[in-house]
Amino acid sequence: MKPVILDVDTGLDDACALLLAARHPELDLKAVTCVGGNVGLDEVVVNTLTVLDAAGRGDVPVARGAALPLLQPVRAAPHVHGKDGLGDLDWPKSSRTPDPRHAVELLRDVLLEAADSGELITLIPLAPMTNIALLLRTYPQAARGLREIVFMGGAAGIGNATASAEFNIWTDPEAAAVVLAACGELGVPVTMYGLDVFYNVPITLAEAGALGGSTSADLARQLIERRSELYRAEAATIGDGGAVCAVIDPDGLTTREFPLRVELSGSWSRGRTIVDTRGWTGDLSSDPHGSTPAVVKVATAVDGRRYADLWL
């Protein structure tokens, strides 16, 4: 089994990712950490516990993390996820309380334990990377417990929050820059599951309608139905769920290594991921811009049918 941690801002598609990570027999979900993003942190925590309850995984520790990005206010997305972040479904909310530790402390504890046992962890950030930046700056030694990071965020092509920037990176660009720099310094391999593939794992309403027979399948069906409604379409992508598929079945994803930076200024481009498709991964220390970018595996194509079947 592959040990994984998810960092989420649940979120309809984070919920799709959580259900898969919680239920797939090849994954060992060690912890889930929460951050403000699609909705405020309080709602994110309740939504996350609610989804794990539906998956029958009350055993997985869930911790509260950063409510706000490092430098700017959070800008929620009710038009994409509903007012409560979980599509305002008529679904009972969890009344459980989260782990008493801060997300950064839970991440540190689980990662240091992994470093000691040698069972290294794949970290899957599906939200603004505030918690991960705080972790790597506060407890860099915790990176010894990481096998790799596979994150949803960014794009080589166009954005969604703005014409040029993707929501997770745009919400906390400084955090993303810190994480990429730290991973470069600490030698942690990184894969970017960005907008170039994010929309390409659709589940049709007919496929969703056939889901049932368990609480988690009932919730999965309702998530896709509500997401289709919000997108006014006959199908809905599993979004963040695709990044979990990429960890279970990496062969369904095509990637290429490129230097990657985050734009921190720019009138119209703040939060954009700059993928250097010139393919220059040689001596980056002599880069004319004066800083060394991280070299990241960027997802360029996905086998959508294969990942849809995996999720279903």
**Residues designated as active site:** 9
Q: Is the dihedral of CA 111, 133, 240, 18 positive or negative?
A: positive
Closest CB 80 distance from Ca ion, rounded Å = 10
The residue range among 54-62, 165-173, 255-263, 299-307 that interacts with ligand BDR, by the rule CB under 6 A, is 165-173
Which residues within the stretch 72-131 sit at the binding site for ligand BDR (CB under 6 A)? 77, 80, 126-127
Give the SS3 label for residue 100: coil
Q: Decide: 302 and 200 in contact? Cβ < 8 Å.
A: yes
State the residue for tokens 């334990």: 113
Site membership for Ca ion, residue 14 (CB under 5 A)? yes
Angle at the Cα of 135 from the Cα atoms of 132 and 140, rounded to 5 degrees: 120
Size of the site for ligand BDR (CB under 6 A): 15
Closer of 127 and 295 to Ca ion (Cβ) = 127
Report the residue count for the chain. 312
State the residue for tokens 């990657």: 260
Closer of 68 and 186 to Ca ion (Cβ) = 68
Q: Decide: 108 and 143 in contact? Cβ < 8 Å.
A: no
Closest CB 127 distance from Ca ion, rounded Å = 5
Which residues does residue 34 pair with via DSSP β-bridges, in sequence order? Answer: 8, 64
Build a one-symbol-per-residue string for 15-54: x at contacts with ligand BDR by CB under 6 A, - elsewhere: -----------------------x----------------
Q: Which of 127, 169, 181, 253 binds Ca ion (CB under 5 A)?
A: 127
State the residue for tokens 């069972």: 119
Site membership for ligand BDR, residue 7 (CB under 6 A)? no
Closest CB 166 distance from ligand BDR, rounded Å = 5
Choose the contact partner of 166 out of Ca ion, ligand BDR, none; CB within 5 to 8 A by kind. Answer: ligand BDR
Site membership for Ca ion, residue 109 (CB under 5 A)? no
Residue 275 structure tokens: 């993928």
Torsion of CA 169, 191, 4, 250, to 10 degrees: 140
Q: Is the dihedral of CA 277, 281, 287, 288 positive or negative?
A: negative
Closest CB 96 distance from ligand BDR, rounded Å = 22
Q: Which of 3, 11, 36, 184 binds ligand BDR (CB under 6 A)?
A: 11
What are the phi and psi torsion angles at 277 (to 5°)?
A: -75, 5
Of 28, 26, 36, 6, give the one whose Cα is nearest residue 18.
6
The residue range among 46-54, 102-110, 166-174, 279-287 that interacts with ligand BDR, by the rule CB under 6 A, is 166-174
- Residues lying near ligand BDR in the complex (CB under 6 A): 11, 13-14, 38, 77, 80, 126-127, 152, 160, 166-168, 239-240
Binding positions for Ca ion, rule: CB under 5 A: 9, 11, 14, 126-127, 240
